[in-house]
Chains A and B, each alone.
Chain A
Amino acid sequence: MDLKELYRDVILDHNRKPRNFGRLDPADAHADGHNPLCGDRLTVSLRLSGDRIEDVRFDGKGCAISTASASMMTEAVKGKSRGAVAELFDKVHSALTQQDAAVDPALGKLAALSGVREFPARVKCATLCWHTLNAALERGAATVSTE
């Protein structure tokens, strides 16, 4: 178990310079995520265009894994449909938790997070943003359906 496996350069880079950082205003939906174990909080806000995520940002304070994961997630999901986002999250989740599985090449940059699998206490740091995105998407759906 090597620390460099967890803190890869791409993760440190996204932690230092998070992409799509801040809040969208106006937004079609946003959701707050909280990891009470470490105190991490983040907000995901998004604008939808039909079934697609037109724009997405995240805001909040967290550890390097949670910040980098959120930053890379926003880059990966922008422009994607809900179905494609769900599929991607499944792949990310497998990469984070399945010890022996090969990392899906379709993950691209997100594959850098797979070092987390050696550090079970940190998996939740990496998934917080995805759960928050899902909550925002559900709210977005609710908003859309009432209009």
Chain B
Amino acid sequence: MATPSPARPMQPAAAFEAERVRRDFPILERSINGRPLVYLDSAASSQRPLPVLRAIEEYETHSHANVHRGVHALSQAATEAFEGARERVRQYINARSTREIIFVRGTTEAINLVAQAYARPRFKPGDEILITGLEHHANIVPWQMVCEQTGCSLKVAPIDSRGELVFDEFLKLLSPRTALVAVAHVSNALGTVLPVKRIIDSAHAVGAVVLVDGAQAIPHSQVDVRALGCDFYAFSGHKLYGPTGIGVLYGRESLLAAMPPWQGGGDMILTVSFEKTTYNDLPWKFEAGTPNISGAVGLAAAMDYLESLGLQAVAAHEQKLLTLATSQLQRIPGLKIVGTAPHKAAVISFTLEGVHPHDLGTILDHEGVAIRTGHHCAMPVMTFFGIPATARASFGCYNTEKDVAALVAALGKAREVFG
């Protein structure tokens, strides 16, 4: 670890060394089209550091068997690794109990679980689900399905031209009819950080339950579910430098306990007979079938890794890059940043006049710069801004000022190609 040098007292004690962090990510050594990879698509999926890759390999090489099944040594080792990962997650988000940590495939599955096991059995015509205009499709479609299934209705709180939630309008839509509020913590398409604490407090004041889609927030900030006071919090491992196919649903224990199981199968039962089956305790009641054990192990390792870097240091580093990239991109003629909220995660969505985002994506890729182009699974956000798509650059712990420079240079190339 870096120790502050007495010769340079003006340096901050915990200077963040992105160049050193980069060495933990073997994929960043790759070249793309003969150029060094500049990875600016972490909001879609981040890359994995060596400690995560090694933890998975270690588990698969030495400890794998099925969990919660056998008395043999490997089954016990696997169970310990899996349940140890659950405890790691509990600490990371400061949940009260591991009974509140459900392993799922990802944010999408977590939201669907709440939709089908919490909302569907309870909601009736007249009940309302309130979301915002910033949501990812994964926080829209599961609720539309519940509306079709139960006759309840979906309300959408609007956003403004900066890509911020219009809080007064949100408050106007809250009422005793609001059964559930489902909001993104951070917008995936624009980077806007939503005022989730105020949202949760206001929703609770009318008796609504709150689900927070934390997929984009968890890599950029310290999330404390108890301090937030949310009822459900959903996130994915692969945006947090962990593996794909693993995610977490945090749920308040009293709510989870009252919910019926979502899927049936092995591991979610205590006893099964043809007459009557009794369900397992939390959290296993919601984990039918053999889980993604190595995924959970990898996720726990990713949390260790991120904490070893220092979450605040990572966040500060990313904000510095966001500020730099924002000011540099703004200088490019014809470039328009979409989503200009004062409080943003390190995500920049933009359009370049005369060059369709899809063409930008191809030209930037040719220069080795990986960005996302398209609607970002948030078509209503694109519709709001009257555009079919944007280009989106997103930053992670391993990005540097050089990456920003490469992005700017590649955009210059796009201008050149399109004349």
The reply to whether chain A is a binding partner of chain B is: yes
Once the chains bind, are B33 and A7 in contact (CB under 8 Å)? no
Once the chains bind, are A39 and B359 in contact (CB under 8 Å)? no
Which A residues are closer than 8 A to B by beta carbons?
Answer: 1, 3-4, 6-7, 12, 37-41, 61-67, 119, 121-122, 125
Known pairs A37-B374, A38-B358, A39-B374; A61 contacts B419 (CB<8 A): no
A37 to chain B, nearest CB (A): 6
Q: Mark B340-381, 1 if CB is under 8 A from A, else 0.
A: 000000000000000111110011001000000111000100
Nearest residue (CB) in A for B34 is A1
Once the chains bind, are A39 and B382 in contact (CB under 8 Å)? yes
A119 to B366 CA separation, bound complex (whole angstroms): 10
Once the chains bind, are A64 and B356 in contact (CB under 8 Å)? yes
| 20 extra A-B contacts, CB within 8 A, seeds A38-B374, A39-B374, A64-B356 | A3-B362, A3-B363, A4-B417, A12-B417, A12-B418, A12-B419, A38-B357, A38-B388, A39-B388, A39-B389, A41-B388, A62-B356, A63-B356, A63-B358, A64-B355, A64-B359, A67-B356, A119-B362, A122-B362, A125-B358
Q: Mark B373-413, 1 if CB is under 8 A from A, else 0.
A: 11100010010000011000000000000000000000001
A79 to chain B, nearest CB (A): 30
B349 to chain A, nearest CB (A): 13
21 A/B residue pairs, CB under 8 Å, sorted by A:
A1-B33, A3-B362, A3-B413, A4-B417, A7-B359, A7-B418, A12-B417, A12-B418, A12-B419, A37-B374, A39-B382, A39-B388, A40-B388, A41-B388, A61-B388, A64-B355, A64-B418, A65-B358, A66-B358, A122-B358, A122-B362
Once the chains bind, are B362 and A6 in contact (CB under 8 Å)? yes
A40 to chain B, nearest CB (A): 7
Number of A-B contacts (CB under 8 A): 53
A15 to chain B, nearest CB (A): 8
B358 to chain A, nearest CB (A): 4
* Interface size of B as a range: 20 to 34
Q: Is the interface of B mostly helix, strand, loop or mixed?
A: helix
Most buried by A among B359, B366, B417: B359
Chain A residue contacts of B418, Cβ below 8 A = 7, 12, 64
Known pairs A38-B374, A119-B362; A3 contacts B388 (CB<8 A): no
A64 to B352 CA separation, bound complex (whole angstroms): 13
B374 to chain A, nearest CB (A): 6
A64 to B375 CA separation, bound complex (whole angstroms): 17
Chain B residue contacts of A67, Cβ below 8 A = 356
Nearest residue (CB) in B for A35 is B358
A131 to chain B, nearest CB (A): 17
Chain A residue contacts of B419, Cβ below 8 A = 12
Chain A residue contacts of B363, Cβ below 8 A = 3
A15 to B372 CA separation, bound complex (whole angstroms): 22
B359 to chain A, nearest CB (A): 5
Chain B residue contacts of A64, Cβ below 8 A = 355-356, 359, 418
Known pairs A63-B356, A63-B359; A3 contacts B366 (CB<8 A): yes
A70 to chain B, nearest CB (A): 13
B382 to chain A, nearest CB (A): 7
A3 to B367 CA separation, bound complex (whole angstroms): 10
A39 to B383 CA separation, bound complex (whole angstroms): 11
Q: Mark B36-59, 1 if CB is under 8 A from A, else 0.
A: 000000000000000000000000
A3 to B359 CA separation, bound complex (whole angstroms): 11
Chain A residue contacts of B357, Cβ below 8 A = 38, 63
A40 to B373 CA separation, bound complex (whole angstroms): 12
A56 to B382 CA separation, bound complex (whole angstroms): 30
Once the chains bind, are B417 and A7 in contact (CB under 8 Å)? yes
Nearest residue (CB) in B for A9 is B419
Nearest residue (CB) in B for A1 is B33
Once the chains bind, are B374 and A121 in contact (CB under 8 Å)? no
B330 to chain A, nearest CB (A): 24
B181 to chain A, nearest CB (A): 28
Chain A residue contacts of B389, Cβ below 8 A = 38-39
A80 to B378 CA separation, bound complex (whole angstroms): 41
Once the chains bind, are A121 and B362 in contact (CB under 8 Å)? yes
Once the chains bind, are A65 and B388 in contact (CB under 8 Å)? no
Chain A residue contacts of B33, Cβ below 8 A = 1
